[in-house]
Amino acid sequence: MLTDPECKNATCPPDKPRKRLADSGGLYLEVSPNGSRRWFWKYRKDGKEGRMALGSYPAVSLSAARKARDVAKLTKAGGTDPVQARKVDKLKASNPAGDSFRVVALEWFDKQAPHWSEAHAIRAKRQFERDLFPWLGERRLADIEPVELLATLRKVEQRGAVETADRGLMLARQVWRYGVATGRVPRDVTADLKGALSPYRGKHFAAITEPEKLGELIRAIRAYKGGPIVRAALQLAPILFQRPGELRAAEWSEIDLDAALWTIPAARMKRTKDGKENGAPHVVPLPRQAVEILRGLHGYTGHGRMVFPGERSHDRPISENSVRTALITLGYTPDVQTWHGFRATARTMLAERLECDPLVIEAQLAHSVKDANGRAYNRTQYIKQRADMMQRWADFLDLIGKIEARP
């Protein structure tokens, strides 16, 4: 057993790299030739010897070193490597910003937002500020009980926003997982809320998938008496089945009528921020019927930038409500057929009626799919196959549009 005078007067011969003075229970004082004296505790783990630094003498006294040794022994007896436990404690203490829900949420958000589209980032930030921060923002993440989070999300449900409440839970889940990863909280409490919120089944856009009913719609579209711009957009919607925002914001510079191709820039596609900035454009083969519609529209809007300019400003496209209103005028309310629903119409009938290759269909829909090796599928592939499919689809629409329902 060491004494304080022995520790104070301990020296190391100049011809030795170090000198060790043993105390008890694996504790020893290591003295170097330059006069420094450090405490270490020696222990064994998985049959191998390890050691744990306990500080320098005299900053850490003999009695303090013995207490630190005893704490480390208790930690090891509990099945935890004391050296690793101390590393974790240091990492937990390396979060100077704090551990409130607001701090952790914004820290997670700042790391994720650069990889999101601007619209998605704005929507997520707004939901934090409106639905979560007012009730949980200043609470320590580790102190928040599942029942508190549930009560907060039910406030959203009570205003009828079931989808928003579901999205709020998904955001909270990401915050808790980040909190676990950064040592702010021991576990993800959002798992306890499974099944506690009203189920949200996602939004499905109404879509006609029966040939006879679709033929009736095609005939109604051809009989539409509205203006030429909305009429052209309405006619092209089922033929090309691109997203409403992509079609209505089309520019003449993107369209090559001679080559029968419409090249949508990556920045206008529904993608992540990286996909918008660095992804390839989405190429849409134009069937003969689409080219004819666009050539006819060119006489009205070809002098400007937008293919479908709005009435108030020729530099801005028509609104999504323009085609939606046209469909309602024709008797097709949103519970029967939507503009976006033409994508589901085409996806279903191309597979079931025309027996097209699902990969080619997904490519035309601009969906990223995986090949057999797990690699992301290139949206610009299958141009020849897609051109053939699009012509078959346009011809199919012509055919069913001519067949009258049997009495």
CA proximity to 272, closest of 109, 114, 105:
114
C-alpha–C-alpha distance, residues 263 and 277, integer Å: 16
Distances (CA, A) of 113 to 123, 148, 167, 269, 352: 11, 27, 16, 18, 40
Provide the 8-state DSSP code for 287: P
Please give the structure tokens belonging to residue 136: 């949980």
Question: Cα–Cα distance between 393 and 358 in angstroms, integer?
Answer: 14
Cβ contact 136:183 at 8 Å? no
Rounded CA-CA distance 252/254 in Å is 5
DSSP output for 168-218: HHHHHHHHHHHHHHTTS-SS-GGGGGTTTSPP-----------HHHHHHHH
| Local structure of 388: helix, strand or coil | helix
Burial of 189 (0-12, 13-18, 19+ CB in 10 A): buried
Task: Report residue 91 as tokens.
Answer: 């990492």
**Residues with a known catalytic role:** 243, 270, 340, 343, 367, 377
CB-based burial, 309-347: b 16+ in 10 Å, e otherwise: beeeeeeebbebebbbebbeebebeeeebbbbbbbbbbb
331 token code pair: 């008797």
- Write the CA distances from 379 to 42, 239, 342, 357, integer angstroms: 60, 19, 20, 15
CA distance 175 to 162: 20
